A and B are shown apart, each in its own frame.
Chain A
Amino acid sequence: MRKVLEVQNLCTEFKTERGMLKAVDGVSFEVNEGEMLGIVGESGCGKSVTSQSILRLYDEKSFVRYTGDVLFHGESLFSLSEKEMENVRGAKISMVFQDALSSLNPVFTVGNQITEAILIHQKKTKAEAKNQAVEMLNLVGIPDPARRFYQYPFELSGGMRQRVMIAVALACRPQLLIADEPTTALDVTIQAQIMDLIVDMNKKLDMAVMLITHDLAVVAETCDRVIVMYLGQIVEEGGVDDIFDHPMHPYTVGLMNSIPKLDTAKGTRLYQISGTVPLLSQIPAGCRFAPRCPYATDLCRKEMPELSRVSDTQGVRCHYRNERSGGLYQQGAGCKAG
């Protein structure tokens, strides 16, 4: 399988009053052609920063520093000029944001915005672009697209707007779509529809998708591979079956146990990972998860574990990976504090 995107040891640092803070710290992964990759983690663990670093969206704000590299089809995105980067954004890599309600320009019609996306990158006449835009609206399942074409974003419902956003993002047929929590602002039924649409587009257009979410259920249903991030680092990665059948990192297990299950006995307290994600300025010395980990030992508190392979597909960042080769037990084992 060919790699669409290769992220190599990416670090993104922001200059703040408390010095340089590493929001993303040595993240490496790749996205293969036509693959659907899920990135999960709590708020503030660097999922969005990773995705926005790939497109270099922080460039304008001068207080950011990237190290490492991002290769798109083998070509380094970090060595491109801003002008060349503009040709990548939208045409080759596109992005859908979580807040569909505010990611469409309120003063332009829906059609206008799709047409613009097409005209930025493709040499087409206005009429051709218009037809293509209507086609896109039809493709993302918007009924009566010719009418919607001339409507303003505020005239559409939330789910409709997210569909339009997807149409805008896919207008130039990018090879990679980064979906940054595309369903967060929507209600559950619409969420399912939008996820179906993204999966559908992934198959129909043979486009790789990087799905950033904190919804494990969505990942389990749609993704081929999963990356679990914590505090700017990858703590576990693997195929969707690896991660869900035999998770090895206590954080992954914690995340899964925090989901209410249908067969949980009445009156049982829902598991929670104790503590909160520490501030970037107060990163612990050893394993970053150690302060919250129910299994942490002195070794964990002193030394940072490496992300190492435990099988062909799965990797985990934990000192005790070998002791748990069969995967950690979900439920029960981790029910420390509650």
Chain B
Amino acid sequence: MLNTNGTGAEGAMTYPAAQNDLNLQRKKLAHEQAEIRLKKFTRNRASVFGLAVVTLVVLLAVFAPVIAMHDPLTMNTADRLQGISAQHWFGTDNMGRDVFSRVLYGARISLTVGFTVGITSGLLGLIIGLYASTNQVADNILMRICDGLKAIPSTLLAITMMAVLGADIKNVIISLIVVNIPNMARLARSQALVVREQTYIEAMRCLGSSRKRILWAHVVPNILSPMIVQMTFVFASAIITEAALSFLGAGVPAPAPSWGNILKEGKDVIYTAWWMILFPGIFTALTVLGLNLLGDGVRDLMDPRNS
């Protein structure tokens, strides 16, 4: 890049710089930095694998109506518990529904729940954590609430909330958000407290930045990368918890093809129809694994310093 067009460090120019010179430099650097990041990411095989798996699952979920050959909800008692065949790739369940179609549509539910929970709990946690880091009274109150929430095992808390709210996908999302906020808020708070003490924040104050501006324009970008990494892990754990809730009958209500639901129905016929638990199980495990590996890769990528 540098050698080919020869305007490297040796080029003496006159200033104020022409706007197009600036733009040229910006493009060149952006290109170089993107290249370095891509290289850094692809060097980590595991995260590339994670990205591939997650992309595949997302594509399957998005194009489920096109790929699935059967309706995931149509029952067909004549075809109950059929094994793997060209007609039913993953066999059929105890009501004669096509497991392949149900797994694909299940991916939609799992990804929706995971994504929504990851993003929302991350954002709310960020706001709560930042607020706590700036106000001592609020800090005490908010963090004690978080401690209280964290003291209850998360699955138990989610089940309790589902019992109160009623079985519905919306309520699954709400209870998982509540379960995950304390971790996010704690992370945001602790990171913000570290960043606020850095010299560059003091330097910004010396330059006349207001407190609000420092908080949002300087503290937030610095704590964003651990937050995003944590969000991918929450994404993964939300998928597992959702499956667990459905498996226990406290999640997405019955006919909906969530992975947890398929597993729940499959456990009764585990000795005759192994395919009913194997495929949704594999999908759950792979997606979660993929997200975790991807999260690791994103962490390496987000930190501009480590090389």
Contact = CB atoms under 8 A, between A and B. Distances in A.
Interface string A87-123: 1111100110101001111111000000011001100
**Chain B contact patch, size range:** 35 or more
B198 A102 contact: yes
Given A127-B19, A152-B304, A105 B206 contact: no
Nearest to B307: A154
Contacts of B11: 144
Contact of A146 (B25, B206, B221, B222): B25
A105 B13 CA distance: 28
A145 B211 CA distance: 30
B17 A145 contact: yes
A198 to B, nearest CB: 16
Contacts of A146: 13, 17, 21-22, 24-25
Q: Which of B16, B203, B204 has the most C-beta atoms of chain A within 10 angstroms of its own C-beta?
A: B203
A267 to B, nearest CB: 42
A87 B200 CA distance: 19
B253 interface: no
Interface in B194-211: 198-200, 202-211
Contacts of A168: 203, 207
A154 B304 contact: yes
Nearest to A147: B25
Contacts of B21: 146
Contacts of A104: 200, 203
B30 interface: yes
A248 interface: no
Contacts of A130: 19, 22
Interface string B187-228: 000000000001110111111111101000110011010000
A138 interface: yes
Contacts of B30: 150
A138 B15 contact: yes
A55 B206 contact: yes
Interface in B222-273: 222, 224
A86 B25 contact: no
B202 A97 contact: yes
Contacts of A33: none
A168 to B, nearest CB: 7
A54 B304 CA distance: 35
Nearest to B201: A105
A165 B203 contact: yes
A103 B9 contact: no
A103 B202 CA distance: 8
Contact of A105 (B19, B25, B213, B222): B222
A117 B207 contact: yes
Contacts of B65: none
A116 B25 CA distance: 19
A90 B304 CA distance: 27
Main SS of the interface on chain B?
helix
Contacts of B22: 130-131, 134, 146, 149
Contacts of B29: 147, 150-151
B72 to A, nearest CB: 45
Nearest to B220: A107
Contacts of B208: 86-91, 120-121
**Chain A contact patch, size range:** 35 or more
A28 B16 CA distance: 42
A172 B43 CA distance: 44
B16 A105 contact: no
Interface string B4-19: 0000110101011101
A83 B212 CA distance: 12
B39 interface: no
Nearest to B218: A105
Q: Which of A90, A117, A146, A149 has the most C-beta atoms of chain B within 10 angstroms of its own C-beta?
A: A146
B200 A150 contact: no
Contact of B205 (A89, A108, A127, A154): A89
A132 B17 CA distance: 9
B8 A106 contact: no
A150 B16 contact: no
Contact of B221 (A99, A107, A116): A107
A86 B202 CA distance: 13
A68 interface: no
A106 B223 CA distance: 11
B26 interface: yes
A134 B24 CA distance: 14
A83 B210 CA distance: 8
Contacts of A103: 199-200, 202-203
11 contacts: A60-B205, A88-B208, A95-B203, A104-B200, A105-B221, A108-B221, A116-B207, A121-B208, A135-B15, A143-B9, A145-B17
Given A116-B209, A117-B207, 7 more contacts: A107-B224, A116-B217, A121-B208, A130-B22, A132-B16, A135-B15, A151-B29
Interface of B: 8-9, 11, 13, 15-17, 19, 21-22, 24-26, 28-30, 198-200, 202-211, 213, 217-218, 221-222, 224, 304-305
Interface of A: 55, 57, 60, 83, 86-91, 94-95, 97, 99, 102-108, 116-117, 120-121, 127, 130-132, 134-135, 138, 143-147, 149-152, 154, 165, 168-169
